[in-house]
Each structure stands twice: as C-alpha cells, then as structure tokens.
Amino acid sequence: MPRTGTTGRRTLAVGVIGPGRVGGALLEQLRSAQPRLARDHALELKLCGVVASKRMWLDCDDAELNGRHAGAQIWRPNDLDAFAAHVRGNDDRHALLIDCSASEAVAAHYPHWLAAGLHVVTPNKLAGSGPLERWQAIRAACASGARFRYEATVCAGLPVVQTLRDLLDTGDELLGIEGMFSGTLAWLCNRHDGSQPFSALLREAHALGYTEPDPRADLSGLDVARKLVILAREAGWPLSLEQVDVESLVPPALAALSLDEFMQRLDALDAPLAAKLAAARVEGGVLRHVASLDRRGRASVKLAVLPATHAFAHSRLTDNVVQFTTRRYCDNPLQVQGPGAGPEVTAAGVFADLLRIAESLGVQA
C-alpha cells in the first residue's frame, strides 16, 4: 500500500550473490522498481555490490551496477566475508544479502551472517534441505533479529511457504502435504499420452529449456525431495533428505554416463515409462510425479498413478500444485497452484521476500 502522509524514509542496503539467470532477472526487477518504491513506499534500495563465482564488485556509486555488473568500476577477487562486511557497512544500517547461487559454500555462511544482523533471502534450496544441524543453526541465528526468507526455494514465486506459515501461525495443525513440485516433470507427465515415446518428449523439453542442462537432475527426483524437506521443516518436522523415499526415473545403467552419452541413449527410458503409462490406464488413472508427506512423517517422491478425478490429474503444462491437509482443511485440502519455474517468477518470489523484510524495518534517522 502507498505510504501517504509520511515523510519517513527506509533505506535497505542490498548485496546480490549469483548474477546468473535468476540473479540477473532479479537485478533488472530491482532496477525497474526503485523509482516506484521510493515514490510510493518511501523505500530506497541501495545496491552495494554483486558477487559472481570468482569476482565481486563493490561499488556504491555506480548507478548502473545492477544493469552491467561485469563493467562496474571496482572489482576484486571473490571474498564472501568481505562482501558481507561491505554491505553491512559501519553505520548500523539495515542490510540484506540475496543468495541466488546454488552453492553449498554460500549457504554455509548463513548462520554467521544472520547472527551478525544481516537479513538473508534466497532461492537456494541447499540451506533449507541440507544438514539438519545447519538448519537449526540458521533458525537460532535469527534470534539476533535478522530475518531469513526463502519462499522461492519451493515452487518459485508461488506463495507456498508463506501459506504454510500463515496456517501454522494462526493455530492450524499440518496433517500432510502432497504436491507436484517439478514443472519439468509436470509437463512431461501431461504430454506423455502414448502418442510419442517419452524420450522424444524429454528431448523437446530439453530443447525448450524446461529441463536442467542435464535432465537427470530433474528425473532423479532429488530436487523435488529437497522442496518437500523444506516444507516439512517449516512445519517443525525434523525431516532430513536421507529419510525421503525417492524413486528416480533414471535407470542405473544411465546414471553414471556422461551427459552426451546419456542424451544419446534416452531411448532406454521409453519401455519403462510406456509400461507405467499402460498400467495407469488399466486402473483408469493418470501418471503424475508426486511428493508426499503423511502425518506419521513418512515422505516419498515417485511417479504415482492417480484417479482421473484427482486435482493433480487436471494440472496445466508446467504448473506446480501443492495441497496442505490440516486440521481445518481436512476434507478439502488447501491448494496452491500456478507456474513454478522460470527465472522471472523465481526472481519475483525473491523480490517479494525482500519487500516483506523491508516493510518491517524502522524508518531511518
């Protein structure tokens, strides 16, 4: 909502780690939104720097930093601690780090940054689904008053984590989660009707950019399992990735091949997937890639046969769908559905988290 009738201004120093597809889209969104945020919300976003894999740019004065990070005036070798200190500054200002990498090394810094009072926003799933001890350290570090938000780790820009948080904060009790967390696998399942081999669909999805560069990252189910772990932990269930029963769609014979060899041997996927489709049709159902967590804490990720009346049977193309079964939403689960992939929507999810943190900040003196 516009901040009318006030002259108070909030300033938030921002540092972005990982200027790739998502990070690049976010930098453009930040640049475009700055005039509107300053005018309507009295919020100044001060971009202080960008970190890539080997270099970082520390340049508070370059107005075009977020548009041309590779050409900023001051760059030096990558040093995450020095970068964080630069963004935090020496004037007790509000400061936030955005991690758009997929780096384990970056995620390992979160507890230290949060304990030092830096807010952290990320679409990086490795913190929320990694070792439980680190996750607990991250949560404990937030006692400093710093905020950690990670909406875009699950279903990109869809309000999945926030919806679950709202349910729990208002006293509801989570009984189970069921979801289609992979836009890639949703598209493949929707298109796999027997009219063409699964391998042909996979090649098409790869050419369209729907899959990871190595499609096995999608087919393994591991990324989906990470999202399920993140939601379970948000609900207070101490689930670890190793406890999720994950069914990979990649035959063992293809798992260890080079990417080129794997792409040449995609036909090996056709017979197993055709058999699964035939079995589903015998039952009068459909194939969908589903992650589930029940009230006993049992978690699984697999290609499942669902009845044709199931809500997931009518999903569209790359849509993600998440159903929360709770004490209040028991007979008719609460559902969140929409596009769950792509750099623009993922960046928007990150940006929304930034704005939620900014809204809670005090006015600068």
Alpha carbons 51 and 125: distance in angstroms, whole number? 19
| Alpha-carbon span 48 to 54, nearest angstrom | 17
Report residue 171 as tokens: 């006293």
Q: Give the C-alpha separation, 59 to 46, whole Å.
A: 11
Known active-site residue 302: no
Both tokens of residue 260?
Answer: 């080129």
Q: Which two tokens stand for residue 109?
A: 């810094």
> Which candidate, 204, 201, 207, 203, places its Cα nearest to that of 188?
201
CA 279 to chain centre: 33
Q: Among 46, 54, 125, 227, which one carries the catalytic annotation? A: 227
**Under 8 Å between Cβ of 365 and 137:** no
Of 272, 227, 275, nearest in space to 249 by CA = 272
Q: Is residue 72 within 8 Å of residue 15, measured between CB atoms? A: no
Rounded Cα distance, 137 and 338, in Å? 32
**Residue 210: C-alpha distances to residues 26, 167, 204, 317 (Å):** 20, 32, 9, 11
Strand partners, 148: 120
Contact between 213 and 289 under an 8 Å Cβ cutoff? The reply is no
The position carrying tokens 């399942």 is 189
Helix (H, G, I), strand (E, B) or coil at 270: helix
Catalytic residues: 227
